[in-house]
Chains A and B, each alone.
Chain A
Amino acid sequence: MRNFKKAIAVIIITALAIIGCMAATACTKDAELILASTTSTQDSGLFDELIPAFEKATGYKVKVIAVGSGEAIKLGEKGEADVLLVHSRKAEGQFVADGYGINRKDVMHNDFIIVGPGSDPAKIKDMESAAEAFKAIADSGSIFLSRADDSGTHKKELSIWETAQVKPAGDWYIETGQGMGETLQIAQEKLGYTLTDNATWFATKSSPGSSLVELVKGDKTLYNPYGVIAVNPGKHPDLKINYKGATAFIDFITGVQGQKIIKEFGVAKYGQPLFYPDVIK
């Protein structure tokens, strides 16, 4: 009867109204900022402290899209993000050189480490050179897990293989295509080696069943610097890129308050900092 048709009409109209009003509030676009970043900064919990502080200090609302440096940079190239916080030096340089990014600044750093099973079949424990350790792993055919996702960690891993002059391929080289947390879990289950950043390692190694151990660290090539870059609005004049917000974020994260948060992050929980600030030490 008519009530039925009316009901359907009401439902559709309500739905459209909801969508409309949500889109309308989203029209206060100037206050919103899309930050494309890595999984290591998110999974370690750093953003849970940094972002609320930034939002409080500046009034911006931040949408953190944690995807991995490769995808973050691609989003930046497409203009789908306003600011990037990534750790893939070469790709960052290319990004800026191609004109997609401006106002790039160093923010913080930590280190990569090679972790693996306690039994250490490739005998790499305490080796000084990451490249040599990788070569030992390849030579012994021990299982190695690769992020294989174009992330900063993945790019670093590939550069170490290059230095070691090894082309990783074979049953022992497993490409997970996933984030650091997941890759560490797979490494644990398969008793394999993997390259991980210190922050994710600390944040996850206390989880139950964790049996991987740190094997190689300290090599200068394992240095892991993070950079923040604003997306160049000039490259996509038709898209609403929030350059002002990006600048505010860069200023915050390289300023006194941001750097302090980075410096203190994790100390209470893990006994040592997970990231080391680069601007205000």
Chain B
Amino acid sequence: MELIWQGIKSAFILIFSGNKEILGIILLTLKVSGIAVIISMAFGIPIGLLIGLNNFKSKRFVITIINTGMGLPPVAAGLFVSLMLWRSGPLGIIGIMYTPTAMIIAQVLIASPIIAGVTLAAVQQVNPKLKLQALSLGANRVQVLWILLKEAKLPALAAIMAGFGGVISEVGAVMMVGGNIKGQTRVLTTATVQNVRMGNFDVAIALVIILLILAFIVNIFLTLIQQRENMTWYQRFWK
């Protein structure tokens, strides 16, 4: 118990003392996971929509694959990306092993199936008559997609939060492809592991608390968007 309390104290000291190293770690964590989630959205949402809204023969098989992908162990993604990015690997010539870019790539592999899977489940439960109604009112294909996405806004944002939560908390992939290099590829999760290894439990707990606060802030923001209904601006403000 004492340890946890010490951890909480250390967390506040670390944040408010403006410790440069910790600040750098926090910013890198946000940068890597943030960019990864944005790219994953660009892949995952269209794929989720495409599969959810169209009917084709192997639809159930494809959905199973995506759902399995949601359970992809992060360390497996890390291993795969390493095999690609090692000097001896097919993409080794680009030389981005042990860089934040490699970490982003690995996290995209982890988050994309999550976002795609939740999106396609979300969009499938939208009232099918809505699609027909939109089409009958003269909407083109993309407009139909947009309307359906807006209907499925709740679960779609849940998909993004799930994707973000999945990657900001993972350690195996970024450890492998990033190398946990101080000042270059160390993020909150790998820094926690490092401090546990060194026996600095209070710092480790502090880092975990910071990570949770970060995730909380991001999720507040996304949840506000998710829960916002159609109101006038001042109704929104006072809600």
Q: State the majority secondary structure of interface residues on B.
A: helix
B183 CB → nearest A CB, Å? 9
In this assembly, does A78 line the interface, its C-beta being within 8 Å of a C-beta of chain B? Answer: yes
In this assembly, does B41 line the interface, its C-beta being within 8 Å of a C-beta of chain A? Answer: yes
In this assembly, does A268 line the interface, its C-beta being within 8 Å of a C-beta of chain B? Answer: no
| 9-residue interface stretch from B85-93, B125-133, B152-160, B164-172 | B85-93
> Is A4 touching B196 in the complex (CB atoms < 8 A)?
no
Set of chain A residues within 8 Å of B179, measured between Cβ atoms = 63-65
> Is A208 touching B96 in the complex (CB atoms < 8 A)?
no
Set of chain B residues within 8 Å of A208, measured between Cβ atoms = 2-3, 201
Tell me whether A206 and B142 are in contact in the complex, defined as CB-CB below 8 angstroms, given that A64-B182, A80-B86 are known contacts. Answer: no
- Per-residue interface assignment for chain A, residues 1 to 45, with 1 indicating a CB less than 8 Å from any chain B CB and 0 otherwise: 110110010011001001100110011010000100001001101
Set of chain A residues within 8 Å of B98, measured between Cβ atoms = 34, 63, 65
A170 CB → nearest B CB, Å? 28
In this assembly, does B197 line the interface, its C-beta being within 8 Å of a C-beta of chain A? Answer: yes
In this assembly, does B225 line the interface, its C-beta being within 8 Å of a C-beta of chain A? Answer: no
How many of B's residues come within 8 Å of A, CB to CB?
39
Q: How far is the CA of A47 from the CA of B198 in the complex (A)?
A: 13
Which residues, 22 to 44 on B, are CB-close (under 8 Å) to A? 35, 38-39, 41-42
Tell me whether A206 and B199 are in contact in the complex, defined as CB-CB below 8 angstroms, given that A1-B143, A8-B46, A63-B181 are known contacts. Answer: yes
Closest to B43 in A: A12
- Selected from B3, B39, B87, B100, the residue in CB contact (under 8 A) with A11 is B39
| 9-residue interface stretch from A84-92, A95-103, A112-120, A178-186 | A178-186
Of the listed residues A12, A47, A63, A239, the one surrounded by the most CB atoms of chain B closer than 10 A to its CB is A63
In this assembly, does A79 line the interface, its C-beta being within 8 Å of a C-beta of chain B? Answer: yes
Tell me whether A11 and B199 are in contact in the complex, defined as CB-CB below 8 angstroms, given that A18-B35, A23-B95, A63-B181 are known contacts. Answer: no
Set of chain B residues within 8 Å of A48, measured between Cβ atoms = 182
Q: How large is the interface on A (under 10, 10 to 19, 20 to 34, 35 or more residues)?
A: 35 or more
In this assembly, does B184 line the interface, its C-beta being within 8 Å of a C-beta of chain A? Answer: yes
In this assembly, does A240 line the interface, its C-beta being within 8 Å of a C-beta of chain B? Answer: yes
Closest to A10 in B: B42
In this assembly, does A136 line the interface, its C-beta being within 8 Å of a C-beta of chain B? Answer: no
B96 CB → nearest A CB, Å? 5
Q: How far is the CA of A39 from the CA of B44 in the complex (A)?
A: 38
> Is B197 touching A43 in the complex (CB atoms < 8 A)?
yes
Tell me whether A182 and B87 are in contact in the complex, defined as CB-CB below 8 angstroms, given that A18-B35, A22-B99, A26-B95 are known contacts. Answer: no
Closest to B94 in A: A23
Set of chain B residues within 8 Å of A15, measured between Cβ atoms = 35, 38-39, 42
Set of chain B residues within 8 Å of A8, measured between Cβ atoms = 42, 46
B104 CB → nearest A CB, Å? 8
- Per-residue interface assignment for chain A, residues 239 to 263, with 1 indicating a CB less than 8 Å from any chain B CB and 0 otherwise: 1110000000000000000000000
In this assembly, does A236 line the interface, its C-beta being within 8 Å of a C-beta of chain B? Answer: yes
> Is A79 touching B88 in the complex (CB atoms < 8 A)?
yes
Tell me whether A204 and B198 are in contact in the complex, defined as CB-CB below 8 angstroms, given that A15-B42, A240-B95 are known contacts. Answer: yes
Q: How far is the CA of A15 from the CA of B108 in the complex (A)?
A: 11
- Selected from A27, A29, A210, A241, the residue in CB contact (under 8 A) with B199 is A210
Set of chain A residues within 8 Å of B41, measured between Cβ atoms = 11
In this assembly, does B145 line the interface, its C-beta being within 8 Å of a C-beta of chain A? Answer: yes
Task: Give chain B's interface residues, CB within 8 Å of chain A.
Answer: 2-3, 35, 38-39, 41-42, 46, 86-88, 92, 94-101, 104-105, 140, 142-143, 145-146, 179-182, 184, 194, 196-201
Pairs A–B under 8 Å by Cβ, sample size 26: A1-B142, A8-B42, A11-B38, A11-B41, A12-B39, A15-B39, A15-B42, A18-B35, A19-B101, A19-B105, A22-B100, A22-B101, A23-B95, A23-B96, A26-B101, A34-B98, A79-B87, A80-B86, A80-B87, A180-B197, A182-B197, A184-B199, A185-B199, A203-B198, A208-B3, A240-B95
